[in-house]
Amino acid sequence: MTGIMLSNHFQNGIETAKLVWSRLPSSDDVETEEELERRVNGGGGAESLDYEVIENYAYREAQAKRSKLFNWYYAMLKWLIALLIGVGTAVAAVFINLAVENFSGWKYAVTFSIIQHSYFLGFVVYAIFNLALVLTSVFIVTQFAPAAAGSGIPEIKGYLNGVDTHGILLFRTLIGKVFGSIGSVGGGLALGKEGPLVHTGACIASLLGQGGSTKYHFSSSWLRPFESDRERRDLVTCGCAAGVAAAFRAPVGGVLFALEEVTSWWRSQLMWRVFFTSAIVAVVVRTAMAWCKSGKCGHFGSGGFIIWDISGGQEDYSFKELLPMAIIGIIGGLLGALFNQLTLYITSWRRNYLHKKGNRVKIIEVLLISLMTSVISFGLPLLRKCSPCPNSDANPDIDCPRPPGTDGNFVNFFCSTDKEYNDLATIFFNTQDDAIRNLFSAKTFHEYSAQSLLTFLVMFYSLAVVTFGTAVPAGQFVPGIMIGSTYGRLVGIFVVKYYMKLNVDEGTYALLGAASFLGGSMRMTVSLCVIMVEITNNLKLLPLIMLVLLISKAVGDFFNEGLYEEQARLRGIPLLESRPKQFMRNMIAQEACKNQQVISFPRIVKVSEILYVLRSNKHNGFPVVGHGRNGEELVIGLMLRSHLLVLVHSKRDFQSSPFPCDPRGVTSRHIWSEFVKPISSKGMTIDDIHLTEDEKEMYLDLAPFLNPCPYVVPEDMSLAKVYNLFRQLGLRHIFVVPRPSRVIGLITRKDLLFELLAACIFRRMIIQLQWNFKPLVAPGPDRRSVGLQEHIDHPLLDSLLIQR
């Protein structure tokens, strides 16, 4: 009977929890009707990218003029750019870390020197220091680089998924990201610099790929071969991996992060360049760290670049510990999902109401949050009773209390004697990197009380939720590690208390808690697992990290999507997920486009008609159709809106007669770079076109400039197949046509082998030569005539052709 009652209570508890969760706003609830329409129609301020190669006549003619020397130069340039991306991202990371560590060091040194005389005056100086740094950050973002706000990872993920958001890869965005991160992180906000570093690496890669910035007169002509969206995508992928490698000193984790989290298209050649870029980052960062050890970097000490070495801690674990470790995974999944839900709701409210009131409101909001953070971080330790330092004889390696203004454990703050420390101030009065290092520290039993950890968890979790989404560069890696390591160490305290005979270390549980929260919030597995191993330098804990990551991700997926997916949807970025939805398998391609009105052009079209179509709709691609011998309509190709604008604006291809033109000589009238969309995403618009009435009556032959071989699917193809084709190939347009009535061939795997293709090309050349040359006369008494075919017969060639 008791068991039945407990079962009923448990079931009622689950139903109550689901009811409470359902009342929290979901991603669909917080979306206004205007935002939904904007997202469905291509996103707010976003545009699809042309990852498909437009193999028109102009492109093929330009490719034919490239020599072997140019191809070698092009291949070497790719590796050189990968090298420069690694060096540039590492230098940016070194600069950000040096600035943050020095600003924080000066802040804490001045504060500790003043509180020796007056705690109130110390708080005033501490708060003013934070306000000044945060004001610098929010002013840069609101007045100079609006796209630098946030982590930038959802926008970069959208870019690599095929969606370009305006302004995310500009030079000013790079500057705003670097200096804004210094202000927001150095100002003590509950944010990190690791997410912005990923965006920084992507900006550096994009700028190098386009030859610099023409607006700010930093440009080079020898980098111009990287002009297509596909080539820029590869470079941005290298930049993302370099950003993670520089942020965590985790080169392998950077490669896996780019593969698992941000990019949706991958190939083996790209893997080599991404790995090379991450290796360069690791070398440069390590060189900078070695140089700073000589004391030339000011307050830059053991903090800064993240390496939380816990190799001296727990080396083994018992089967009994798996239960509390699984509990850590469940807690991480629940708190991570709740974090995603709360930040989604607050960020939506900001975008729909608060931030629409102007930049002044954005600045005031950030300053109020900064002041609140200063009050909490300075005021709460004042309410906490100090603890006596550990016995120096039993713990000779422990420096307690630490000298004022230096990084480390055991901070003496508002204590009555010199041999006491404030455990809550040990977490609050440090940079986030140093605070995590303290939480991860091994063999420091009972350094933190459960009350202090619980207090810090509640307050920092709340600050992280409120701060995320403000108008400053903001990452969530390190705050997530802070939150997870706090409740992880809290669980570790209870494990140490109840499993007295086991070699249990609280720092090990702090590490597992950090992994569980990141897994529950960001939903990464492989890359996050490798990153945690690299930043802690402890391979023995790999199975445990894998366990908590799998549990936390499974729990988090039960409630909502990952943090970046939710934020991307909120920003109107139409991401295509890795798999199609189940209902798409029951739909066909015709059903997805049944409400569309297809607007097409004939091959030769009047200029006035082009202007009318471009002004009357916002489509970015138009079918070009013609008529066959029997009068049926045939698809000739695809014409891009951007290409039409270039042609109409240049006026060089206008003709007075409505007849086909000679496509030869297109490259003499145009440079292929004219058709490349600039990195600013603005490009040319219809408002830039100014024509006379006579020019509007002229004609334009679209054949040399259209894509003659767009991707085409039959109308009854499964929508799931169309989805996979669209995403895996990085397409922008797919034509849906009636099912073809005739088959002209069948291509199999064997038909794509290099040997067979080479043999076919060779045989075609022979046949061509037979028509161009006279028969040869063989030496000998009969001097019979033989064909050229008899002189080049080869068994391998014949066997390949017979197999076909």
Read off the pLDDT of residues 280-332 as tens digits, 9 standing for 90 and up. Answer: 999 999 888 888 877 777 776 544 555 665 655 566 777 888 899 999 999 99
Give the model's confidence band at 50: pLDDT under 50 very low, under 70 low, under 90 confident, else very high: confident
pLDDT at 387 over 90: no
Q: Residues 189-206: pLDDT tens digits?
A: 999 888 899 999 999 998
pLDDT at 30 over 50: no
* DSSP reduced 3-state for 163: strand
pLDDT at 62 over 70: yes
Give the model's confidence band at 58: pLDDT under 50 very low, under 70 low, under 90 confident, else very high: confident
* DSSP reduced 3-state for 475: strand
Amino acid at 351: R
Query: Diameter of the chain by CA atoms?
Result: 120
The CA-based angle 4-10-13, given to 5 degrees, is: 145
pLDDT at 75: 84
By DSSP bridging, strand 621-627 and strand 633-640 are antiparallel
Lowest mean pLDDT among 10-24, 160-174, 505-519, 669-683: 10-24
The percent of residues above 90 in pLDDT, for the chain, comes to 34
Q: Residues 160-195: pLDDT tens digits?
A: 888 888 889 889 999 999 999 999 999 999 998 888
Give the model's confidence band at 23: pLDDT under 50 very low, under 70 low, under 90 confident, else very high: very low
- Torsion region of 420: left, alpha or beta (phi above 0 gives left; psi -120 to 50 gives alpha): beta
DSSP 788: G
pLDDT at 626: 85
Q: Residues 84-121: pLDDT tens digits?
A: 999 999 999 999 989 998 898 899 889 988 988 899 99
Rounded-to-10 torsion of CA 452, 454, 458, 459: 10
pLDDT at 737 over 90: no
Q: Residues 388-420: pLDDT tens digits?
A: 887 766 566 667 777 655 566 677 887 887 778
Sign of CA dihedral 663, 666, 669, 670: positive
The CA-based angle 271-274-279, given to 5 degrees, is: 120
pLDDT at 546: 93
* Rounded Cα gap, residues 132 and 179, in angstroms: 13
What number of other Cβ atoms are within 10 A of residue 604's Cβ? 18
pLDDT at 786 over 90: no
CB 191 within 8 Å of CB 184: yes
Amino acid at 272: W
pLDDT at 618: 85
* Rounded Cα gap, residues 793 and 587, in angstroms: 53
Residue 789 phi, psi dihedral angles, 5° rounding: -60, -35
* Rounded Cα gap, residues 210 and 225, in angstroms: 8
Tokens 């063989």 identify what position?
778
pLDDT at 782 over 90: no
pLDDT at 21: 43
pLDDT at 149: 92
- The residue-averaged pLDDT of 409-434 equals 82
Contacts of 739 (CB under 8 A, 6+ apart): 714, 715, 716
Tokens 């501490």 identify what position?
126
Amino acid at 356: K
The CA-based angle 290-96-240, given to 5 degrees, is: 95
Q: Residues 551-588: pLDDT tens digits?
A: 999 999 999 999 999 999 888 888 888 888 888 888 88
pLDDT at 413: 81
**The model's pTM:** 0.84
* Rounded Cα gap, residues 528 and 269, in angstroms: 23
- End-to-end CA distance of the chain, in Å? 76
Buried b (16+ CB within 10 A) or exposed e, 172-189: bbbbbbbbbbbbbbbbbb
pLDDT at 451: 92
Closest CA to 332 of 552, 491, 21: 552
CB 539 within 8 Å of CB 315: no
What number of other Cβ atoms are within 10 A of residue 28's Cβ? 8
Sign of CA dihedral 62, 63, 66, 71: positive
- The residue-averaged pLDDT of 687-713 equals 88
3-state helix vs strand vs coil in the chain, percent to 5: 60, 5, 35
Amino acid at 135: L
pLDDT at 778: 45
CA dist 359 → 141, 248, 475, 563 (Å): 10, 33, 21, 26
Q: Residues 473-518: pLDDT tens digits?
A: 998 998 999 999 999 999 988 888 887 756 778 888 999 999 999 9
pLDDT at 16 over 50: no
Q: Residues 435-466: pLDDT tens digits?
A: 888 888 776 667 788 999 999 999 999 999 99
**Cα 595 vs. chain centroid, distance in angstroms?**
33
pLDDT at 783: 43
CB 421 within 8 Å of CB 395: no
pLDDT at 666: 67
* Rounded Cα gap, residues 611 and 461, in angstroms: 55
Give the model's confidence band at 667: pLDDT under 50 very low, under 70 low, under 90 confident, else very high: low
pLDDT at 794: 43
* DSSP reduced 3-state for 473: strand
Give the E-state strand segments of 537-612 in sequence order.
Answer: 601-602, 604-606
Q: pLDDT higher for 528 or 757?
A: 528
Q: pLDDT higher for 421 or 377?
A: 377
Q: pLDDT higher for 40 or 145?
A: 145
pLDDT at 146: 92
* Rounded Cα gap, residues 539 and 134, in angstroms: 38
* Average predicted confidence (pLDDT) for the chain: 81
DSSP 293: I
Lowest mean pLDDT among 240-254, 530-544, 604-618: 530-544
pLDDT at 282: 92
Give the model's confidence band at 779: pLDDT under 50 very low, under 70 low, under 90 confident, else very high: very low
Closest CA to 201 of 243, 148, 253: 243
pLDDT at 10: 44
Sign of CA dihedral 219, 224, 228, 234: negative
H/E segment holding residue 52 = none
Closest CA to 606 of 669, 665, 694: 694
* Rounded Cα gap, residues 205 and 201, in angstroms: 6
CA dist 204 → 76, 277, 437, 627, 673 (Å): 19, 12, 30, 48, 21
* Rounded Cα gap, residues 285 and 250, in angstroms: 11
pLDDT at 127: 96
What number of other Cβ atoms are within 10 A of residue 697's Cβ? 13
Closest CA to 53 of 269, 206, 227, 211: 227
Q: Residues 640-666: pLDDT tens digits?
A: 998 899 889 888 888 888 888 877 666
Residue 637 phi, psi dihedral angles, 5° rounding: 170, -165
